């Protein structure tokens, strides 16, 4: 797993590792081949088979964070935008801009087509690009469903 996560293609992807079983957690922590990874690791051990099959105790938490981002975005944008709008997920920041315009300003490195993270022009926090895109789509869908 660690070796895979260090492959260039996966290194650029916005991945997370979820450890659901103690055996997997032990193997991960043992790090037999001494490979370090930057990928965020979430330990979410399940005690019963039902929990393992039934899925997500941690997913609702992630969902909640995404909902907060979307809720904030809806409040900031207020009406159906004609473009995909990037909204900073930081609670105190009010930055919003069409995704295309933000991309033009932020995508400067010629060897990268899409950055993994950008720096918010207002609050200077690092924000995963994938999170901005996913939220912009959710925002568009929210107003499309009205």
Chain residues that interact with Zn ion, rule: CB under 5 A? 88, 90, 93, 95, 120, 122-123
CB 22, min distance to Zn ion, A: 38
What sign results for the dihedral spanned by CA atoms 43, 46, 51, 54?
positive
- Among 127, 116, 128, 120, smallest CA distance to 96 is for 120
At 70, list the tokens.
Answer: 């979307």
Closer residue to Zn ion in complex, CB, 6/125 = 125
Least distance CB 123 / Zn ion (angstroms): 3
Nearer to Zn ion, 93 or 132 (CB): 93
Closer residue to Zn ion in complex, CB, 37/118:
118
- Whichever of 27 and 90 has its CB closer to Zn ion, that residue is 90
Least separation, in Å, of the C-beta of 138 and Zn ion?
Answer: 18
Residues 84, 22: Cα–Cα separation, whole Å: 41
> What is the number of other CB atoms lying within 10 angstroms of the CB of residue 60?
10
- For residues 10-33, one letter each, b for 16 or more C-beta atoms within 10 angstroms of the residue's C-beta and e for the rest, the string is eeeeeeeeebbeeeeeeebeeeee
Gap between the Cα atoms of 146 and 123, Å rounded: 31
CB of 127 to Zn ion, least distance (A): 7
Indicate the residue among 20 and 89 with the shorter CB distance to Zn ion: 89
Q: Minimum CB separation from Zn ion for residue 87, in Å?
A: 9
């Amino acid at each position: 797993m660690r070796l895979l996560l260090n492959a260039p293609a996966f290194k650029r992807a916005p991945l997370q590792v979820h450890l659901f079983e103690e055996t997997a957690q032990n193997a991960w922590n043992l790090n037999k081949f001494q490979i370090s990874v930057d990928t965020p690791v979430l330990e979410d051990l399940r005690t019963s088979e039902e929990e393992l099959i039934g899925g997500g105790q941690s997913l609702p938490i992630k969902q909640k964070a995404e909902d907060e981002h979307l809720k904030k975005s809806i409040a900031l944008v207020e009406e159906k935008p004609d473009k995909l709008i990037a909204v900073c997920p930081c609670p105190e920041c009010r930055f919003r801009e069409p995704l295309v315009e933000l991309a033009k300003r932020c995508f400067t490195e010629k060897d990268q087509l899409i950055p993994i993270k950008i720096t918010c022009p207002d609050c200077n926090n690092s924000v995963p690009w994938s999170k901005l895109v996913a939220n912009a789509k959710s925002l568009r869908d929210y107003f499309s469903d009205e």
